[in-house]
């Protein structure tokens, strides 16, 4: 491959990783870009899990064998089967050498000289591949994993120039992985409550919009549990905000534990003393049972005075749910009623007949003072 084509391949790989939206997209772009750049028929990206002593495969692309999944859940190999990972990468690197790529063939070692690796050679033969090039990946100054590209039997065997080019590609992949890490951290911070570690209001906004759209498209049940932690102001005023923060953290743990009872539920802190659970799929009755358990566990916390909990679900007779805002208002109204009545159990929208007071409250028009009569409530705007 000429210099211009190799430069274009490097640029394409970098662009592919830069355009990735998730870590999986990034891994796939790295493997595909390297496979194309090296005219391979198969490529894989693997990470070294030091604490487990495993080389875990993240992605397989190209002509995969029957036992190779694109994103395998359990394809991992003990590092002791690949001594070159530690010997070549660490011993040679720390003594001044570079973590350069090397070539293995179905007949044994070739260019790059880390030494004959029986495991790799056996895998090449078993899967009908004639040669492979292995490029160590270094991230943040530490060995991270490896890039592996193979060619089928009968194709030209990788040579020294290919190994050198694979070393360059591994550096590009490393830069792309670092960018992905930064983006994931920024995304995590943007959608995570700093105090409790739960999702934040922004995450609920996005998740609820997507869930209601799925409900409208497929009829999937969407349920929202909104909780107001009672007694936080008293704790802050009498014991201090540090103790109040501990109460928020402890309730956050209870909410997370209860949320785990609903597959895929999102546990979040909306802000201040307000929390919620967003469940997509489980029946409304299952969500109410979990909300009941949440109230019980919250009442057992040594601080605070339990929670006021409201539930709204598309699985209950609440009328048309055409927007995320309406479901939020229903759960909010149910929570408000629970708080007003000092209810020890959740209030559920739509379960008190055709003239359900919670549904009436949720659907009442907003007024400048938040409402009239006994049911005064300024509902939040668009969630």
The pLDDT assigned to 355 comes to 84
pLDDT-wise least confident of 155-169, 347-361, 362-376 = 362-376
Higher pLDDT, 186 or 136: 136
Q: Please give the C-alpha separations between residue 228 and each of 252, 295, 308, 331, 346, in angstroms, as whole numbers.
A: 12, 11, 5, 11, 11
The pLDDT assigned to 62 comes to 96
Instruction: Identify the helix (H) or strand (E) that includes residue 165.
Output: helix 160-190
The yes-or-no verdict on residue 383 having pLDDT over 70 is no
Q: Mean per-residue pLDDT for 163-185? A: 91
Q: What is the pLDDT of residues 288-323, one digit of tens each?
A: 999 999 999 998 888 878 899 999 999 999 999 999
The pLDDT assigned to 228 comes to 92
The pLDDT assigned to 209 comes to 94
The pLDDT assigned to 382 comes to 36
The yes-or-no verdict on residue 86 having pLDDT over 80 is no
Q: What is the pLDDT of residues 239-296, one digit of tens each?
A: 899 998 899 999 999 999 999 999 889 999 999 999 999 999 999 999 999 999 999 9
Residues 224, 335: contact at Cβ < 8 Å? Answer: no
Beta strand ranges found along the chain (DSSP E): 42-49, 54-62, 76-78, 102-105, 108-109, 129-139, 142-152, 222-229, 266-271, 274-280, 307-313, 347-348
- The string over 266-293, giving b where at least 16 C-beta atoms fall within 10 Å of a residue's C-beta and e elsewhere, is bbbbbeebbbbbbbbbbebebbbbbbbe
Q: Mean per-residue pLDDT for 60-78? A: 92
- Residue 198 DSSP class: S
Within a 10 A sphere around the Cβ of 102, how many other Cβ atoms?
A: 24
Within a 10 A sphere around the Cβ of 307, how many other Cβ atoms?
A: 32
CA torsion 307-310-313-319 (nearest 10°) is 180
Residues 47, 60: contact at Cβ < 8 Å? Answer: no
- Residue 157 DSSP class: P
Per-residue confidence at 79, pLDDT binned at 50, 70, 90? confident
Q: What is the pLDDT of residues 343-366, one digit of tens each?
A: 999 999 998 888 888 998 888 876
Per-residue confidence at 187, pLDDT binned at 50, 70, 90? confident
Report the percentage of the chain scoring pLDDT > 90.
54
Domains and CATH numbers, the chain: 1-190 (3.30.450.40), 192-365 (3.30.70.270)
Write a three-state SS string for 305-326.
CCEEEEEEECCCCCCCCCCHHH
The yes-or-no verdict on residue 15 having pLDDT over 60 is yes
The pLDDT assigned to 97 comes to 52
Per-residue confidence at 188, pLDDT binned at 50, 70, 90? confident
Within a 10 A sphere around the Cβ of 26, how many other Cβ atoms?
A: 26
Q: Please give the C-alpha separations between residue 34 and each of 76, 103, 369, in angstroms, as whole numbers.
A: 21, 15, 62
The pLDDT assigned to 284 comes to 96
The widest CA-to-CA distance across the chain, in whole angstroms, is 87
- pTM score > 0.75 for this model? no
């Amino acid at each position: 491959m000429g210099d211009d084509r190799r430069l274009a391949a490097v640029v394409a790989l970098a662009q592919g990783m830069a355009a990735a939206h998730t870590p999986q997209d990034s891994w796939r772009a790295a493997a595909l870009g390297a496979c194309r750049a090296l005219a391979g028929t198969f490529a894989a990206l693997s990470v070294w899990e030091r604490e487990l002593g495993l080389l875990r495969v993240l992605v397989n692309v190209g002509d995969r064998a029957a036992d190779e999944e694109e994103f395998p859940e359990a394809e991992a190999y003990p590092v002791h089967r690949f001594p070159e990972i530690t010997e070549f990468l660490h011993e040679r690197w720390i003594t001044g050498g570079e973590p350069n790529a090397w070539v293995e063939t179905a007949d044994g070692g070739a260019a790059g000289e880390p030494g004959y690796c029986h495991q790799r050679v056996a895998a090449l033969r078993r899967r009908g591949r004639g040669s492979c090039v292995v490029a160590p990946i270094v991230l943040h100054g530490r060995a991270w994993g490896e890039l592996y590209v193979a060619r089928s039997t009968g194709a030209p065997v990788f040579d020294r120039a290919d190994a050198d080019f694979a070393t360059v590609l591994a550096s590009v992949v490393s830069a792309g992985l670092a960018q992905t890490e930064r983006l994931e951290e920024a995304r995590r911070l943007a959608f995570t409550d700093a105090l409790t570690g739960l999702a934040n209001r922004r995450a609920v906004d996005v998740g609820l919009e997507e869930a209601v759209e799925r409900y409208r498209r497929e009829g999937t049940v969407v349920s929202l549990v909104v909780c107001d932690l009672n007694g936080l102001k008293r704790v802050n005023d009498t014991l201090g905000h540090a103790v109040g923060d501990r109460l928020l953290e402890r309730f956050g743990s209870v909410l997370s534990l209860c949320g785990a009872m609903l597959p895929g539920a999102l546990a979040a802190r909306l802000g201040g003393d307000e929390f919620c659970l967003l469940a997509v799929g489980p029946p409304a009755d299952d969500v109410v049972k979990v909300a009941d358990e949440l109230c019980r566990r919250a009442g057992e916390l040594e601080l605070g005075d339990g929670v006021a909990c409201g539930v709204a679900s598309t699985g209950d007779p609440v009328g048309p749910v055409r927007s995320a805002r309406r479901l939020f208002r229903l759960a909010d109204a149910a929570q408000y009623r629970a708080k007003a009545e000092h209810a020890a159990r959740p209030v559920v929208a739509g379960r008190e007949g055709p003239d359900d007071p919670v549904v009436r409250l949720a659907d009442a028009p907003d007024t400048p003072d938040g409402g009239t009569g006994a049911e005064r409530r300024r509902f939040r705007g668009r969630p």
